[in-house]
């Protein structure tokens, strides 16, 4: 049997094949994009200490990683038989296929995201908390950009798997590349030639999107970015301009700047701090000195709210900052007035700079988040501070380049 090359090449101008290719691209991109979002929510829920979020996420991932996609496709497509209200949507093979693939892929992508989340040092979220960012802000500005960068090679690989898995939707009569090929070779019996063309269409899709995803990966990789070789004249001009003071909420000082009463902290029933009290007056400088293991770091983390107190109270400028609230026999509830974080500064032992942000953006992150001033005013102040310590020429560098 001779291979009919002319017939195979003629299939590359077949309109039905190109329409099927567009269907595969739409289906795979939508599945990938939606699954990335749903998978990230599942990964966060699985990482949560709350069983209300943790158990459903674990159950979802276990179930849909166990079910074969082919079984899921048939089940979703035939669901209107049991639930007639879904027929308006699921009677369309495209939407039925999309929903089934999203249900399946979200479970796999959730584990990819979880790997990305686990790779981000705990100090990154602690540094963001110390700057007063709330949970959503920490995830969106700090964790997600870094986790996605780490997970992107695996996510790109998963997209390629989704493209190939899309051939299974032919079982629910969606006209995609494989179904068009099957229809043709059932008419002319040129199986090898037709399937070779089908393979070329899939290879084309994978090659194009693999290239695009590689470009995205390179764009997000800050380690491959080159810092500016000379000082930015615009930044230098900003640094020389007369400063406009940025208005900040005035602290209503009515007593000590910092007051801690009867602070207690224990780990695994081992007492680290017991009934520690202190008062620091405005303008006073205090050093805490002691041997390793004496509780210095624990005390600082309690004062900054990075660790929850077991007992006691902390006040800033006479205002309640951290305390416990107990009603009846219930377990005491940790209460933090987060607005006072704006009056607390902290330098971590390992710095915990945000590696995906430039020096300038590191400085501007918290003031922009709290909307202390306009972007231009904050940029000017950041340039002045960098110029003051001789680092203005490094403004566009990343932490690893310093």
| pLDDT at residue 342, rounded to an integer | 83
Helices H, strands E: what count in the chain?
15, 5
Helix 15-47 and helix 191-220, axial crossing angle in degrees, nearest 10: 40
Segment (H or E) for 315? strand 311-316
- How do residues 319-356 score in pLDDT, each as one tens digit? 999 998 877 777 888 899 888 888 888 888 889 999 99
Quick check: 368 pLDDT over 60? yes
Task: Report the pLDDT value the prediction gives residue 230, as an integer from 0 to 100.
Answer: 60
What pLDDT, on the 0 to 100 scale, is given for residue 252? 58
Mean pLDDT to the nearest integer, 233-249:
70
| Position with higher pLDDT, 59 vs 238 | 59
Please give the model's pTM, rounded to 2 decimal places. Answer: 0.84
Distance CA 46, CA 59 (A): 10
- What digits encode the pLDDT tens for the residues 204-217? 999 999 999 999 99
50: exposed, middle or buried (Cβ count in 10 Å: 0-12, 13-18, 19+): exposed
pLDDT the model gives residue 234: 80
Ordered by where they begin, the domains of the chain are: 5-220 (1.10.3720.10), 258-336 (3.40.50.300)
- Tens digits of residue pLDDT in 277-296: 999 999 999 999 999 888 89
């Amino acid at each position: 049997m001779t291979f009919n090359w002319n017939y195979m090449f003629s299939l590359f101008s077949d309109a039905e094949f190109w329409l099927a290719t567009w269907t595969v691209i739409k289906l795979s991109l939508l599945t990938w994009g939606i699954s990335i979002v749903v998978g990230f929510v599942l990964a966060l829920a699985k990482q949560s200490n709350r069983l209300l979020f943790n158990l459903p996420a674990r159950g979802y991932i276990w179930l849909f990683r166990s079910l074969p996609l082919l079984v899921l496709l048939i089940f979703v497509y035939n669901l209107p038989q049991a639930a007639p209200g879904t027929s308006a949507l699921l009677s369309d093979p495209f939407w039925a296929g999309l929903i089934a693939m999203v249900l399946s892929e979200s479970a796999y992508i959730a584990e990819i995201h979880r790997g990305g989340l686990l790779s981000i040092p705990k100090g990154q979220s602690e540094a963001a908390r110390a700057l007063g960012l709330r949970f959503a802000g920490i995830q969106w500005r700090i964790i997600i950009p870094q986790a996605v960068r780490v997970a992107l090679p695996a996510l790109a690989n998963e997209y390629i798997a989704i493209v190939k898995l899309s051939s299974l939707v032919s079982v629910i009569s969606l006209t995609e590349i494989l179904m068009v090929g099957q229809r043709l070779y059932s008419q002319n019996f040129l199986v090898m030639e037709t399937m070779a063309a089908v393979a070329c269409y899939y290879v084309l899709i994978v090659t194009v999107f693999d290239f695009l995803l590689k470009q995205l990966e390179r764009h997000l990789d800050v380690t491959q970015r080159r810092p500016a070789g000379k000082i930015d004249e615009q930044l230098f001009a900003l640094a020389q301009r007369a400063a406009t003071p940025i208005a900040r909420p005035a602290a209503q000082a009515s007593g000590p700047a910092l007051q801690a009463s009867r602070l207690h902290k224990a780990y695994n029933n081992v007492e680290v701090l017991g009934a520690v009290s202190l008062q620091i007056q405005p303008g006073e400088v205090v050093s805490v000195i002691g041997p390793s293991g004496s509780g210095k770091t624990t005390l600082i983390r309690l004062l900054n709210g990075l660790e929850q107190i077991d007992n006691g109270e902390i006040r800033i400028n006479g205002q309640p900052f951290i305390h416990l609230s107990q009603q009846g026999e219930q377990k005491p509830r940790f209460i933090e007035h987060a607005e006072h974080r704006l009056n607390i500064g902290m330098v971590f032992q390992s710095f915990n700079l945000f590696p995906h942000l430039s020096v300038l953006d590191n400085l501007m992150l918290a003031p922009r988040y709290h909307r202390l001033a306009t972007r231009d005013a904050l940029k000017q102040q950041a340039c002045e501070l960098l110029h003051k310590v001789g680092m203005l020429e490094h403004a566009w560098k990343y932490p690893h380049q310093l």
